[in-house]
Chains A and B, each alone.
Chain A
Amino acid sequence: MADNAIPLVVRDLHKSFNDNPVLEGLSLEAHEGDVISLIGASGSGKSTFLRCMNLLEIPNAGDIVVHGESVKFKTRRGEREPADWKQVERIRARLSMVFQGFNLWAHMTLIGNVIEAPVHVLGKSKKEAREHAMALLERVGLADRADYFPAQLSGGQQQRGAIARALAMDPEVMLFDEPTSALDPELVGDVLKVMRELADEGRTMVVVTHEMDFARDVSSQVIYLHQGRVEEAGKPEDVFGNPSSERLKQFLGPRF
């Protein structure tokens, strides 16, 4: 398949913080409709990997290609940085991120959060953005909370709101950074339910998660990271059903 038909290709990504290598040559291909789960212990580099994909962290080496458009880099004073920030902004707008800590903008209402980037980044009209936003809030079960401020919502509601905010961008790929880790256990279910529905309707997703059931049932591919390298990758039934790595076996525990 030609590269420009694939929503997201990452090749041989390297990243280190203060000379400590965190990512050592990671690659990934997310095809249309793929749900890729990144699993691993904390410190394995899975969140950094995800954050490199939309350039919240700048990788020291490697390529990021979105629908055939490769992010351009240059080197200044020995540091690698994007050559064209406008390009970065454009690409970020096509890859919506959902954060562990929700990161809803506290001074805006929920609907204000959802229409913000479509209006001020994509240049949509307020009216159109608002209609779309209401439909999305309906989907995640928050239509009646549209005019609430984030601080007035529970964690689970905030995260579902954040997913609506991500959907409002009509993203080509959705990036989830441990979306349920900051939630009380009883609120996790609602968020996972929304994510399962998104997977079912064919959204392309890359998910960093600790929810092994979700990774096993929903993913098309699972990547297990250890110390910045891919330790094992494959279809969930293989990774969970028949892990070959000792470390992965230990990581998964007796349940799988």
Chain B
Amino acid sequence: MEHWLAQVAPFLSHNTIFTPATLAAYWGGMVTTVQLVFISLVIGIVLAIPLAIGRASHRVWISGPIWFYTYVFRGTPLLIQLYIAYYGFAFIPGVQQSWFAFFINNALYPALLSFVLNTGAYTTEIFYGAIRATPRGELEAARAYGMSSFTAYRRIVLPSALRRALPAYGNEVIFMLHASAIASAVTITDMTGVAYNVYAEFYSPFPPFIFVACLYMALSFGIQGVFRLAEKRLLRHLKPA
């Protein structure tokens, strides 16, 4: 142990890149990334549940527009959506003097808007797929026992569909974490933004990018672990004894 420390200590003291200042910057970037992703995901879910129910409707004037929304947002790169949210309002004459100026002056808001709409589209499709996979007989039993459509959705369809959607949704969360790296393209200093700044300052690509890659990996595996646990708890009913 002491031998090992003796080797590491000089490395740390000769290290110019990973100073307390850069580590603090990384921490700040991580907070930004996690906040951005977490808020997007939460609003995305709130959006996706009613949209998924609407998407499953047999009334085309309800399901059609929702299909179109998910088709457009899943068929185009998130970066385009981010640019449209970021530039789209900025050049409107007089916007700087309006109440809406807050949205233009902080890139976090347009980023949040595009992330929410994007993850909302993917999550809608995930939930919709899970709703469609509800065993017919279970829904029929609900109706046979006198449940209204609303009660059947609330008690039978959604609880079982949301559980079934868990593995796919776990992938979406990791996908969003990784996709959020593009926030750095619109001046947000998220984790990737910090790594780029450190790279630009020291002109040394490997340490900052490999370090930030490790941070992303740690977060990804953490998320994966949480979902594995949740699946174990919430999907145990599907496993035979």
Contact = CB atoms under 8 A, between A and B. Distances in A.
Interface of A: 54, 56, 85-86, 89-94, 96-97, 99, 101-109, 116-117, 120-121, 148-152, 165, 169
Contacts of B144: 54, 56, 92, 96-97, 99
Given A99-B140, A105-B156, A107-B159, A152 B147 contact: no
A151 B237 contact: yes
> Chain B: interface residue count, which band?
20 to 34
A47 B160 CA distance: 27
Contacts of B21: none
B143 A56 contact: yes
A121 B138 contact: no
B236 A103 contact: no
Contacts of B155: 116, 120
Q: Which of B141, B142, B156, B237 has the most CB of A within 10 A?
A: B141
Given A103-B137, A103-B138, A89 B156 contact: no
Interface in B124-158: 135, 137-138, 140-148, 151, 155-156
A93 B152 CA distance: 13
A256 B225 CA distance: 63
Interface of B: 135, 137-138, 140-148, 151, 155-156, 159-160, 163, 236-241
Interface majority SS (helix, strand, loop, mixed), chain B:
helix
18 contacts: A89-B146, A90-B146, A96-B145, A97-B141, A97-B145, A103-B135, A103-B140, A105-B142, A105-B160, A106-B160, A106-B237, A109-B237, A117-B145, A148-B241, A149-B238, A151-B238, A151-B241, A165-B145
B140 A93 contact: no
Given A99-B137, A105-B138, A107-B163, A152 B240 contact: yes
B231 to A, nearest CB: 13
CB-based closest 4 A-B pairs: A93-B146, A103-B137, A149-B237, A152-B241
Q: Which of A86, A108, A109 has the most CB of B within 10 A?
A: A108
A107 B160 contact: yes
Contacts of A149: 236-238
A175 to B, nearest CB: 8
A151 B239 contact: yes
Contacts of A91: 146
A121 B141 contact: no
Nearest to A93: B146
Given A117-B146, A150-B237, A151-B237, 18 more contacts: A56-B144, A92-B143, A92-B146, A97-B141, A97-B144, A97-B145, A99-B137, A99-B144, A102-B137, A103-B135, A103-B137, A103-B141, A106-B135, A106-B160, A107-B159, A107-B237, A149-B236, A149-B238
Contacts of B135: 103, 106
B73 to A, nearest CB: 30
A112 to B, nearest CB: 10
A107 B141 CA distance: 14
A107 B240 CA distance: 13
Contacts of B163: 107
B141 A105 contact: yes
A85 B237 contact: no
Contacts of A109: 237
